[in-house]
Amino acid sequence: MTDWDDRIIDSALQEVGGQQPPDLSARILIALGEGAPGQLPALPPPPRSIAGSTMLAAAFLCLGLLTAYVVSYAFDDGSRSTVEAERVALYVVSGQVEFVPADAQRPGEVVAAGSAVIVREPRGARMFVSKDSRLQLGVFPMLRVEPATELEVRSMGVSMNNGVVAATSLAIGVVVGAVTWDSLSGPEARTSGEVVRLEAMAPDGVDYSVENARLMARVQGLEEQNARLMMMREGVAAPAIPEGPVLAEALDKPDVATAMMFEDPKYADALSKVNWDAMGKATLEIQPLLNELVRILNEDGEISTEIAVQLEKLNVHLAGEIPTLMKAGLPGTGPNGAYTHPLVVANTLASTLNAAGKPLDAAQSAALAGLVKSFTAELDGVAAGPYEFQSETMMHEIEAKERFYAEMSQRLTAEQFATIYPKGSTDFDGLSLFGTGLMTRHLLRPIKAGNAADFAHRAGNRLADELGFSDAETVRLRTVLESVAGSSSGMWGKPSSAVERKLKFLRAGRTQAALRNQVAMLRAIYLQFQLTPEQQEKLSSLTGVIVPL
Amino acid sequence: MAKVLTVDPQDVSQLVHRHQAEVWRYVRFLGANAELADDLVQEAFLQLLRAPYEDQGEPARRAWLRKVAQNLYVKSFRRPPFALVDLDRIEAVWLDYAQGDGGNESLAALRECLENLDGRARQAVRLHYEERRSRREIGDRLELGEQGVKSLLRRSRELLKKCVERARREA
């Protein structure tokens, strides 16, 4: 093997380890719009981090997000600057984080929502998250941290550009648990042993509001220009000033709590703050787009960027209500556990049907209110249930919610049903906004395996890593897993489709089969291995669902 | 007849989405760190979109972007970072890896091969590439010297390369 053969695998392994190609389209578009043709900025010599145009792009992406900041002290002037001290702030949007500096012992400092975790050491600091939390660092999408997650700072970088802090990055390893976020191509997740790389830029004290406003105007101008160009290409006269979409107008009205039809005194205060009207309108627009995304992927084998961008924009409105839903304290696994709670589902259903002009009638509302009440009680029982594994709690939660969805849909007229479940939307778990696939999709850990033996080998390696098994234990683990997986039904059907591989929308029912298999595997491990208390705790807290694709 | 690329924002966005990963991977393969790779990719696209470039189709466009990014990378050093006589070899290794899809299939195959890697090789790769541990830290964990870790990682990459090539042949 030559050095270059070695390098190609080395760089590929770096990518597998977390250093992935970023989406540079926004910064390229902005740089393209701002620089005069033929006058390219000179490329400065390395090492450097992110150029000025990146700052613009970052600010562009940062619009509307909570801003993280970097503080640095005592650097000399000129292009060569020395950072003597720096820190990175990770803003806690909701939930709380116990922060333990490197080399310190627990308990650490508890940082509540609305405050920031200040990371000073470039390596070794740990963060313990006991309940669902959301963290923000600059331009990176909001991170959702699952309960019982432990994070460790792996690296921290601050770049200087002419004496000014220009950028920062923070690599966080997931020791136990899971972190998820929404990216352009869909939900992303990192679980135990994986690394999340965050980037941000915004020197402390710098007011970006003017720059943000300028960039917003610039973005609006580009969008209008784009619309006009597209119309010209199609031979249609361009409108002078395009009006904003009706949905956007409705969605942009903040703090409008409307149309909460189903209530529960325990959660009423928090849920009354949700903009149900906006939720319904966004849901109504998102579902056909999701179906179209899948149709195109099935036909062309490619994810439509155009639709993905539209979905991203609309999803912001749904995701924006998640903190309010989380504050209500509804039981459920992860943020979408609250989103799929019957109380939320029923209200979203009602507002979606209102938006479609097919509202629930009084009899339907009364029937649904009864369903919500009984399933809320059942789910409270599941959440408090005596289950050994978090996966098991999730499995029972999903089964109960699936029954709720089935009962709910039986109360709809054919027209209403077609609005809520357009043709094809129930073919895949996660494709419908009224299904439990929303809860599980970001927890799926696909591995390529066509039979139980392949599955056992690869799943065994993963679980052995999680549990810190020796080589001998790993070999024995594979035998145990093969026996469990071989007798699981619903796991070894048709080969996986592009929709399953690329979007992690599994064929209907496959998620539940994988989850049942997972619980059986965990139970077998628990019974057949002498686990330390730490290993037992890890086993109990595993929520990632290993699924063969 | 070849057409001149337009600068319609929608087209730009699609063009960037189509090629950015490959160009980024290519300059990382050449040796650029992640941040420099971002800059090089941006500059390469700007040159493509601003220059009077006549589009000869996708393969030519991809080669053009790689070449520009490579030149920008080389120019960012006072002395070339590698012997320029290696350029043909570099291109051959890249084309073999990228296989016309920018490296997506090879990367997927590598992930699969990693699942099958066992024992100390697996541990070393995981500690080095996922946890970013130093050779010394890995050595302490695996009871090896730093040179031993270096050799183990190189052997592991060799195994993985063969596995990727085999997987692609079978596919």
For the stretch A113-131, pLDDT in tens is 766 777 777 678 889 898 8
- Search chain A and give the residue with CA nearest B105: A12
**Domain assignment of residue A11, yes or no:** no
Is residue A495 within 8 angstroms of chain B, CB to CB?
Answer: no
Residue with tokens 């596919």: B171
Indicate if B149 and B110 belong to the same structural domain.
yes
- Asked if B79 and B128 sit in the same domain, the reply is no
Residue B7: pLDDT band by 50, 70, 90 thresholds? low
Residue A31 lies in a domain: no
Q: Is residue A449 in some structural domain? A: yes
User: What is the rounded CA–CA span in Å between residue A477 and residue A12?
Assistant: 29
Domain final residue pick, B67, B98, B129: B98
- In chain A, the number of structural domains is 4
**Rounded to an integer, what distance in angstroms lies between the CA atom of residue B149 and that of residue B139?**
6
Residues B70 and B39 in one domain: yes
Tens digits of residue pLDDT in B46-87: 888 877 667 778 888 888 899 999 999 988 887 778 777 788
The type of residue at B72 is L
Contacts of B142 in chain A (CB under 8 A): none
Task: Look at residue A8 and tell me if it is in a domain.
Answer: no
Q: Is the pLDDT of residue A467 over 50?
A: yes
pLDDT band at A340 (very low <50, low <70, confident <90, very high): very high
B133 and B57 belong to one structural domain: no
Chain Cα centroid distance, residue A243: 31
- Which structure tokens are listed for A44? 């400065």
Long-range pairs for A221-224: beta carbons < 8 A, 24 or more residues apart = A222/A29, A222/A33, A222/B9, A223/B9
CA distance A28 to A30: 5
Q: Which of A12, A25, A193 sits opposite B106 (nearest CB)?
A: A12
CATH of the domain at B33: 1.10.1740
Buried-state track A55-82, b at ≥16 Cβ within 10 A, e below 16: bbbbbbbbeebebbbbbbeebeeeeebe
DSSP secondary-structure letter at A138?
A: T
Strands A109-112 and A149-161: unpaired
Of A113-117, A130-134, A426-430, the one with minimum mean pLDDT is: A113-117
The structure tokens listed for A406 are 């089935």
Work out how many CB contacts closer than 8 A connect A with B: 186
| B73 & B24 share domain | yes
Would the pLDDT of A388 be above 50? Answer: yes
Q: Is the pLDDT of residue A229 over 80?
A: no
pLDDT score of A213: 46
CB-based contact B142:B128 (threshold 8 Å): no
pLDDT of residue A244: 32
Q: Domain check: are B124 and B57 in the same one?
A: no
| Residues A408 and A295 placed together within one structural domain of the fold | yes
- CB burial of residue B169 (10 Å; 0-12, 13-18, 19+): exposed
- CB-based contact (8 Å) between A28 and chain B? yes
**Residue A130 within a domain:** yes
Q: Which of A37, A43, A49 sits opposite B76 (nearest CB)?
A: A43
Percent of chain A, pLDDT > 90? 17
A-chain residues within 8 Å CB-CB of B35? Answer: 47-50, 159, 167
Residues forming a β-bridge with A66: none
Tell me: do B87 and B12 sit in the same domain. yes
Question: Could you list the residue range(s) of the whole structural domain that residue A457 is in?
Answer: 442-548
Inter-chain touch B76–A54, beta carbons under 8 Å: no
Length of chain B, in residues: 171
Q: What is the pLDDT of residues A394-405, one digit of tens each?
A: 999 999 999 999
Judging contacts by C-beta atoms under 8 Å, the chain A residues touching residue B31 are 7
B92 and B114, same structural domain?
no
Q: B64 vs A27, which has greater pLDDT? A: B64
CA B134 – CA B136 distance, rounded (Å): 5
Taking residues A3-23, report their average pLDDT.
90
Using pLDDT thresholds of 50, 70 and 90, give the confidence band for residue A45.
very low
B98: closest chain A residue by CA: A8
Which residues of chain B make contact with A305, given a CB cutoff of 8 A? 13-14, 17
Of the residues B98, B128, B161, the one at which a domain ends? B98
Residues A348 and A374 in one domain: yes
The residue type found at A44 is P
Residues of chain B with Cβ-Cβ distance to A45 below 8 Å are 76-78
Asked which of B74, B98, B122 is the last residue of a domain, the reply is B98
Same domain? For A305 and A452 the reply is: no
User: Is residue A116 located within the same domain as residue A192?
Assistant: yes
pLDDT range class, residue A415, cuts 50, 70, 90: very high
Residue A19 contacts residue B34 (beta carbons within 8 Å): yes
With a cut of 90, say whether residue A417 has pLDDT above it. yes
Coil vs helix vs strand at A86: strand
Do B89 and B40 sit in the same domain of this protein? yes
Domain residue limits at B148: 104-170
Q: Is A45 on the interface with B (CB under 8 A)?
A: yes
Q: What is the pLDDT of residues B26-46, one digit of tens each?
A: 999 999 988 899 999 999 998
Q: Do B65 and B111 belong together in one domain?
A: no
By the 8 A CB rule, do A438 and A336 touch? yes
Kindly state whether residues A314 and A389 are assigned to the same domain.
yes
Q: Give the Cα separation of A305 and A283 in Å (integer).
A: 20
Say what the pLDDT of residue A6 is.
92
Q: What is the pLDDT of residue A88?
A: 66
Test A49 with B17 for CB contact under 8 angstroms. no
For chain B, give the mean pLDDT. 86
Mean pLDDT, to the nearest integer, of A135-146?
Answer: 70
- d(CA B107, CA A393) in angstroms, rounded, equals 35
Q: Distance, in angstroms, between B160 CA and closest chain A CA? A: 8
- A46 in a structural domain: no
d(CA A6, CA A403): 53
Q: Is residue A533 part of a domain?
A: yes
The pLDDT of residue B30: 93
Residue A196's nearest CA partner among A116, A147, A127 is A127
Number of domains in chain B: 2
Of the candidates A11, A48, A471, the beta carbon closest to that of B35 is on A48
- CATH number of the domain bearing residue B140: 1.10.10.10
Helix intervals (H) in A161-240: 209-233
Contacts of A462 (CB under 8 A, 6+ apart): A445, A447, A546, B115
Q: Both tokens of residue A274?
A: 């949700």
